Amino acid sequence: MNQPSYTRGRQDRPLLEQTIGQAFAATVARHADREALVVRHQGVRYTWQQLAEQVDAHARALMALGVNTGDRVGIWAPNCAQWCILQLASAKVGAILVNINPAYRVAELDYVLRQSGCRWLVCADAFKTSDYHAMVQALVPELATAALGELASESLPQLRGVISLAGQPPQGFLPWQALAERAGQTSLEAYTARQQSLQFDQPVNIQYTSGTTGAPKGATLSHYNILNNGWMVGESLALTEHDRMVIPVPLYHCFGMVMANLGCITHGSTMIYPNDAFDPELTLRAVAEERASILYGVPTMFIAMLDHPSRQQLDLSSLRSGIMAGATCPIEVMRRVIEQMHMAQVQIAYGMTETSPVSLQTGPDDELELRVATVGRTQPQLETKLIDEHGCIVPRGQIGELCTRGYSVMLGYWDNPQASADAIDPARWMHSGDLAVMDEQGYVRIVGRNKDMIIRGGENIYPRELEEFFYTHPAVADAQVIGIPCSKYGEEVVAWIKLHPGHTATVEELHSWCKARMAHFKVPRHYRLVDEFPMTVTGKVQKFRMREISLAEIGKT
């Protein structure tokens, strides 16, 4: 009988039985005078001691505003120093930080604030095309006349006030710089007592899923969940206080606030934010000028950096490692990152928000082929299994749905017991919805999403396989494959293709190239040459939008 597709990660790396505040304090004590946070677009440089002073002042100020253990505090802003400060300050007073997507509009903001029951909201003034102040004013017009902390909103009855990161916000907003001035209203004794009352398995963060199949759900994560996940990711990278990490991924997502921030905080490594949002040139310059050793990003970010004209003029030789995650990692892109960006030890991490996020990761000593073709093995102190449609574990080498169990599995979806029960079974396995194959050594290869699998004329087609195939074409920089309904075959294959700068390829050439190299039923029926894909702020391709666009276009032909 074949070995079952089940593995347990290493058990020799103990978990941290601490709150985020305790772990942060320990790092400050060890590395007080070392550089902790560099925010290049704001001109901010803090040592660990200076960052701790900022965190403590804002934590005490939150208590002065009446923030209690378990209260929800929302953060609606792009990457900035205040994001990091609030992440730590809210954790130190036992509040639950609610991450709000910077791209949200009024209706989405209203839903998240209402569903989570936020007591306070911290927001930027504006970002890209979004005027945050205007949207908040439209949502809670009562803010302009409310006394501080006494907002009584008809639409958001639990919201007590809004703190703005702007220097001079409109009437009713509390300026961020005025927040810290309230620290003295909370005694050091009260602040210390609050911290001592906290438990490491209490909730500390709510992150909303994308909501492509209905209303967003708030994954509720504890100190234990995310502190340990950041710790374990950093352990795999062998982070130390000498490492400097460039963080171009958004902080509102687990990649930024857990894998990056908490990974650095647990190891004393320097956090470097190159900009408020991803910019390939600013990220490359941050690496070169800060002599960074670690770089994080999703595949589309690495593609943009690899193809940017400034890359070859900048010295990236300080890099040694990093993480590529957040979306399917193309093999050819991985090879180029290793060869052209000096990231010989770069690793792939796989996971989901509901698992804090990483559950599988390649290792620094893995052979190149394993690091470019798989998402690694089960992380320490976690379990992985692949199951069929009946819930039975499939043999190694067969496709099954990936499930994760262990310390990283979320507490549940906030105030949504039915959705929690649908995602986490009675044995506490988190069902991912991803289809995967496990080999004899326990390495896992993701082949697609349950919902993304294309069934054409009775044949199962996995988009990931086709996407990897397109990367072998010299002109193709990126590829995304989807299925759309077809009356004859059930579904047809559509390939969206992005070409390398300076390269050309026609639809006819791509089609002929495919026909000569793959089974006929896999060959795409339709192609779309594009400059970019519909994407979320975190760099994930929105395949549901691609389907909508493709259907609208093909329906007209």
CATH of the domain at 290: 3.40.50.12780
Of 417, 449, 481, the position where a domain reaches its end is 449
CA distance 217 to 162: 23
Helix ranges (H only) for 350-447 are 368-373, 417-423
What pLDDT is stored for residue 513 in this prediction?
Answer: 94
Cis peptide before 364 (omega within 30 of 0): no
CA distance 525 to 514: 11
What pLDDT is stored for residue 70 in this prediction?
Answer: 98
What CATH number did the domain enclosing 521 receive? 3.30.300.30
Nearest CA to 1 out of 443, 404, 397 is that of 397
CA distance 269 to 255: 16
Residues 103 and 32 in one domain: yes
Residues 412 and 486 in one domain: no
β-pairing verdict for 35-39 and 44-47 = antiparallel
What pLDDT is stored for residue 180 in this prediction?
Answer: 95
Of 138, 163, 197, the position where a domain reaches its end is 197
* In the block, residue with structure tokens 């704001």: 42
Residues 50 and 190 in one domain: yes
Residues 386 and 479 in one domain: no
What pLDDT is stored for residue 343 in this prediction?
Answer: 96
Residues 251 and 187 in one domain: no
Query: Can you read off the two tokens belonging to residue 422?
Result: 């649908």
Query: What residue ranges of the chain have pLDDT lower than 70?
Result: 1, 210-214, 327-328, 537-538, 555-557
Helix (H) or strand (E) holding 15: none
Residues 187 and 279 in one domain: no
Residues 123 and 187 in one domain: yes
Residues 475 and 434 in one domain: no
What pLDDT is stored for residue 364 in this prediction?
Answer: 87
Q: Which domain holds residue 38?
A: 22-197
Reported as half-sphere exposure (CB side, CA atoms, 13 A), residue 547 has a value of 15
Of 389, 419, 449, the position where a domain reaches its end is 449
Residues 62 and 142 in one domain: yes
What pLDDT is stored for residue 556 in this prediction?
Answer: 42
Residue 459 backbone dihedrals phi, psi, to 5 degrees: -95, 135
Query: How many structural domains is the chain composed of?
Result: 3
Residues 277 and 395 in one domain: yes
Sign of CA dihedral 20, 21, 27, 32: positive
What pLDDT is stored for residue 253 in this prediction?
Answer: 92
- Per the domain annotation, does 9 fall within a domain? no
Query: Can you read off the two tokens belonging to residue 338?
Result: 């290793």
